[in-house]
Amino acid sequence: MVAAAIAGLPGTAQAAGATASGTPQEVATLPAPAVGAYRADTVWGTGATGFLHQEQGLPGYTWTDYASGADTHVAQLDGVTFNSRPYYRPEAAGGDMFAYWTPTAAGTTTVKLTVGDPAGDSWTTYSLPTGVFGVVGVNGTRLLAHETDGPHLLQLNADGTTSELTLSGLPDASSYTFTAPSLDASSGSIAAITAAPKPGTTGPARSFLVDLGTGKAVEVPAAFPGGGRLSNGYLYSFVNGSTTNTLTSLKVSDILAGTATTATTTSFTLPGTNVAGGIAGGQLLFTNTTTYGAPVELYSVPLVGGGAPTRIDPAVTSGLQFDSLIPGPAGILTVGGTGTSQAVQRFSDAADGTLATAALRTLPPPSATTATLSMDYGQVRQVLSVPQLGGTTRFDLSTTPLAAKSADSSTFGTGPAQNGFLATAPGPCAVDASCVRIVDGSFYGYSSVTPAGVANAGGLQHGFGAGATIVDADAEFEIVNSGGTQYIWDPGQNMVSSQTVPVAGAALWQGTLWRTAGPGRIQAFGLESQFYATPLKRTVNTGASCAPSEIQVAQHWLYWSCGSAGPAGVYDLSTNAGISVPAGPVLLGDGYVVRHDAASGRLQLTDLHTDSVGATTTLATFPASGPSGDDRHLTWTVDRTSGDVAYADSANVVHVLTPGVPASAVSGGVGTSMQVTEPGANLQIGGMLSRPVASWHLVIRRAGTGQQVRVLTGGPTPALYETTWNGYTDSGAKPLDGWYTLQLWATPADDPTAPATPVVGATASVLVQQGVQTFHSFNDDGQPSLFARVGADTRQNAAGDSLVYEGDGKGGLFTQGMAISSRLAANYGTVNALIPFGDLNGDGQNDLLVRMSNGTLGYFSGLPNVNNPAAARPITIGRGWTIYNQLVSVGDLNHDGHDDLVARDNSGVLWFYAGNGHGGFASRVRLGGGWNAYTKIVGVGDLNGDGVGDLLAVDGKGYLWRYLGNGHGGFGARTFLGSGYWIYNALVGVGDLNGDGRNDFVARDPSGVLWLYRGDGRGGFAGRSRISGGWNSFSALY
């Protein structure tokens, strides 16, 4: 199963020298991750000269000698799993001998008893009838067996057989039921057993001590409560009551001698669960826990004299479920200590009979070795192989981000800072090495192969079958090989491309899949979300006759190899230069390759940034690991994004170095949450960068004009940047409707004082609607509108209807069939003038002025209701407007932010009406006479970029004149633009028709051809270009 993460946006890096060439330098040293203050240890048995235990980092079971501290691996116990319950774990059997029982296997009629000496690793197994169990003593030679017909004493012979021995002093088994015996681990020869009367037998239960050496049983005085345990020459009973704990004891020697009469009893109060462990130094040692999960603390209480119990430091940390204190001939052993120091502790009788405490074995920190090292976007991930108890291994993941980030940036998932154990097992790591491999690059964090059925593996998962390997990963996709087939996996969607192919050399870089396409050929495919398409983007010819089996891509560099025997090379994707490099395991960086020489141990970097093999520098020297010396991503790695190199030394300290090779220009992408936005909508913008940056800013410009309207800034980020545009300009104003470009600029993290440069590939476009409509536009995309009145009835429209045409942004027009009916405002009279106007009432939408035949001037807020034209009601502005023979929407003539109107009366006087932004005009102002010399007066909006509306006028000779608005409600002197305009029977200032941000006009000739005159932004126009014919079917254009 493969577990991983997602996200990212594509981009393609280009060669550039962000930093100068230099000597590699160590820029970070990461201390070895702490995997624990001390090793875990479980004591299984306490002997006379040593103890049997399991210690983290040591294989299987170990016998440690008390005197010398020497360790001996008990190989005969390899594969044996002990149960922590009595009998099914090693029990002291006298001296250094131990015995343990193996649960009865299904379908068998025997039970196994194994007895042996771990010091000499000599063991004998005895087969006994099912149901038999008991205790072994006398140096492993005697078994007090509990059988269905009562107790038996057996001789354990060296050849694995048993012999019945005489057992005397016990009542008849026909009248009593016997409990399981228990052994005094300190003596190794005295056992306790209890006999309870069967039905028909009168009297109380009776307790006995049995000497396994002589086979004689002695009854315990009736004064002692039933049952009890043996420890260090005492028979004791410990009752953990709800409020009071009671300890009762008798000396074994007194019982055997028949002199024991009265038991010693003491009581004390200690809340919690108290579990007796054994007797040493005249005191009972017991553990105390107050609540589940609370620390286990060790206490002692005297057998004689009573008194409050004494807490003993250190606290107990033994891992056994039932008994944390393990008694034996040499005392009682446990594992305990402070939070930072732990040891195997022994409690025994001092020479004066008091309690002696000694630390037999101080537990050092766990051993660990670096199993995997990866680095991506300045983030180091190190996996340590940490041996556990019993010889198993767990893998500790530590993640250290080195690249700076800020609140408006993000990085890929970090994972745990330390002690985050991977739910994984060893698997394929490099070409021929084995380790736990994690692959960086996915949006949410690392990816790894997890064995099927592992519980709580977490993350995003997909089952690819046994033997799956992760070839490469980028932000959104991963390459996975499994069963001879190569898959492309989108973890975020948990989708696998249906275009599966046989396993081949392949790599990913920022949304592009590079894959071997045959001998000498590598193809690049663009990966789209959910695999809607994988278009072929590029083909690279290596010049070799072999098919590359391995591909790596970093920035604008591509490494290919045809196996360990070669050939191999590096291809500069920006210059198309090929560079031959020696075969063998290498990692590709930004303009260099790194290899670890197995013979010398030297980690060597070769500079290729000039498209030729440059100097080779030794970065470090350390032994190679992994089969065949291929230890890529085991103890060293290359960050193909930040450009750094990292390696781990023998102490697991990670060293990070800059390569001293010029870095590529930052590349990346710009993604938006929507392609259409509006003021106040909060457009989410973000993307992935090819390497860490110190800062960035996003410039938003109006398409066509390049006018900058907003700059959004951000701080350092390793990989991902995020920002929000509220749809307003830097000054807080609404922008014009239409398309806007977004361009990201950045300063690389490795050169933070350098000026920002455009991020390669990091551009996008977004359409702003509900902003300020542009001149002569009646839609939300910023494109101008042209109204054409139908001259004669057609199947679709009646004479007098007006069709609405929209600009296509390329100098053309199209219609979606929308028409303004001639029956518009029928109850108000005939419309004899229709003037496309700006925003008359301040609602942000352009309006339509209409003049009725009775002289009433009104307007529609936006376009009128075309579905019910007769019900459309214009808003009245005033009456008496028949005195004017031409009404012209000129734009903002007095620079107050409101569109204005000019009108020519029948005497040729031109009047100025300033719009008030509330649906009306101020009183008229006379601009001058003589304007009846012009056959056409046309409002064209702002022609020269000064923000003031301008006019065009055609005189009787066909001369075209320009009047530039002066910003004060008037015009400057006229300027001659050209002649021959008498040929046109209609001329309309249509706004920006070709999307260059400059206002244009269209003109119709007598043959019905519509021509475009493109504004040059300086008040003039380029030569005309034909739009289309057939426009003579319209009686008017406006």
- For β-strands 379-387 and 393-401, DSSP reports them as antiparallel
Type of residue found at 131:
G
The pLDDT > 90 percentage for the chain reads: 68
Q: DSSP class of residue 1032?
A: G
DSSP state letters, 820-869: E-TTTTGGG--EEEEEE---SSSSSS--EEEEETTS-EEEESSS--SSSG
Taking each continuous run of H as one helix and of E as one strand, the counts in the chain are: 1, 90
Section 331-339 average pLDDT: 86
**762 pLDDT exceeds 90?**
yes
Hey, which bits of 130-175 come out as E strands?
133-137, 142-147, 150-156, 162-165
Confidence of residue 256 (pLDDT cuts 50, 70, 90): very high
Mean per-residue pLDDT, 40-58: 94
Integer Cα distance of 1030 and 794 in angstroms? 14
CA 49 vs CA 44, 82, 93, 120: distances in Å = 14, 22, 13, 12
pLDDT one-digit tens code per residue, 345-356 = 999 999 999 999
Q: How far apart are CA 397 and CA 417, in angstroms?
A: 8
Paired with 913 in beta bridges are: 901
424 close to 449: Cβ distance less than 8 angstroms: yes
CB-facing half-sphere around the CA of 518: CA atoms within 13 A: 2
Mean pLDDT (whole number) for 158-172: 96
Tell me, what's the pLDDT at 452? 63
In angstroms, the Cα distances linking 54 to 80, 389, 401 are 12, 6, 37
pLDDT for 709 equals: 97
Per-residue model confidence (pLDDT) at position 726: 97
CATH 2.60.40.4070 domain span(s) along the chain: 671-768
- Fold category of 671-768 in CATH: Immunoglobulin-like (2.60.40)
pLDDT for 895-940, tens place per residue? Answer: 999 999 999 999 999 999 999 999 999 999 999 999 999 999 999 9
Interatomic CA distance for residues 18 and 753, integer angstroms: 11
Asked if pLDDT for residue 16 goes beyond 70, the answer is: no
What pLDDT sits at residue 205?
92
For residue 79 the two structure tokens come to 């594969």
Superfamily of domain 785-1037: Tachylectin 2 (2.115.10.10)
Q: 851 has which bridge partners?
A: 833, 857
Which residue in 501, 792, 435 sits closest to 637, CA to CA?
435
Q: What is the pLDDT of residue 531?
A: 63
Q: Which amino acid is at 303?
A: L
In terms of C-beta density within 10 A (0-12 exposed, 13-18 middle, 19 or more buried), how is residue 827 classed? exposed
Of 156-160, 718-722, 978-982, which range is least confident? 718-722
Which H helix or E strand runs over 252? Answer: helix 252-257
The predicted structure's pLDDT at residue 87? 78
Identify any residues that bridge with 621 across adjacent strands, giving them in sequence order.
Answer: 602
Q: What is the mean pLDDT of the chain?
A: 89
pLDDT in tens, 860-893: 988 887 666 666 788 999 999 999 999 999 999 9
Backbone angles phi, psi at 429, to 5 degrees: -120, -60
Q: What is the CB neighbour count within 10 angstroms for residue 139?
A: 17
Whole-angstrom distance, CA of residue 295 vs CA of residue 464: 44
Look at residue 209 in the predicted model and tell me its pLDDT: 97
Q: What would the pLDDT profile of 525-558 be if each residue is shown by its tens digit? A: 998 765 655 788 999 999 999 999 999 999 999 9
* Residues whose CB falls within 8 Å of the CB of residue 212, separated by 6 or more in sequence, listed in order: 135, 137, 138, 142, 144, 153, 183, 189, 190, 191
**Residue 828: pLDDT above 60?**
no
pLDDT of 495: 84
Residue 825 has pLDDT above 70, yes or no: no
Would you state the pLDDT for residue 48? 97
At 2 the pLDDT is 43
Q: Tokens 């200590």 label which residue? A: 337
Q: Tell me how far apart the alpha carbons of residues 524 and 517 are, in angstroms, rounded to a whole number.
A: 10
Calculate the alpha carbon distances from 457 to 421, 450, 590, 608, 891 in Å: 10, 7, 34, 41, 66
Helices marked H in 704-815? none
**Dihedral angle at the C-alpha atoms of 141, 146, 148, 153, nearest 10 degrees?**
40
Does 723 or 17 have the greater pLDDT score?
Answer: 723
Output Rg (C-alpha) for the chain, integer angstroms.
46
pLDDT digits (tens, 9 = 90+) for 461-517: 677 777 788 899 998 899 999 889 999 988 888 888 877 789 999 999 999 999 999
Average of per-residue pLDDT across 116-122 = 95
Q: Is the confidence at residue 17, as pLDDT, over 50?
A: no
How do residues 559-616 score in pLDDT, each as one tens digit?
Answer: 999 998 999 999 999 999 999 999 989 999 999 999 999 889 999 999 999 999 999 9
Phi, psi of 440 (to 5 degrees): -90, 165
Round to whole Å and give the CA distance between 416 and 366. 19
CATH 2.130.10 residue ranges for the chain: 2-25+369-658
Confidence of residue 823 (pLDDT cuts 50, 70, 90): low
Kindly tell me if the per-residue pLDDT of 454 is higher than 70: no
Structure tokens given for 1008: 């019905």
Comparing 227 with 206, the larger pLDDT belongs to 206
* Residue of 933, 993, 938 whose CA lies nearest to 963: 938
- The candidate with the shortest Cα–Cα distance to 828, out of 882, 870, 880, is 870
827 close to 850: Cβ distance less than 8 angstroms: no
CA 62 to chain centre: 42
Cβ 659 vs Cβ 589: under 8 Å: yes
Give Dmax (Cα) for the chain: 148
Per-residue pLDDT tens digits for 959-996: 999 999 999 999 999 999 999 999 999 999 999 999 88
- Which one of 3.40.1440, 2.60.40, 2.40.10, 2.130.10 gives the CATH number of domain 2-25+369-658? 2.130.10
Residues 388, 58: Cα–Cα separation, whole Å: 8
Position of tokens 């072994």?
Answer: 136
When mean pLDDT is compared over 286-290, 419-423, 588-592, the highest value belongs to 588-592
Candidates 245, 249, 353; CA nearest to 308 is: 245
pLDDT at 414 over 70: no
Q: Does the structure show a pLDDT above 90 at 241? A: no
What is the residue whose two structure tokens read 């060439």? 21
Average pLDDT over residues 789-812: 87
Q: Which residue, among 151, 168, 149, has the nearest Cα to 216 in the 3D structure?
A: 168
Predicted pLDDT at 628: 64
Distance CA(970)–CA(898), nearest Å, equals: 15
C-alpha dist (Å) from residue 719 to 4, 414, 635, 786: 17, 12, 24, 47
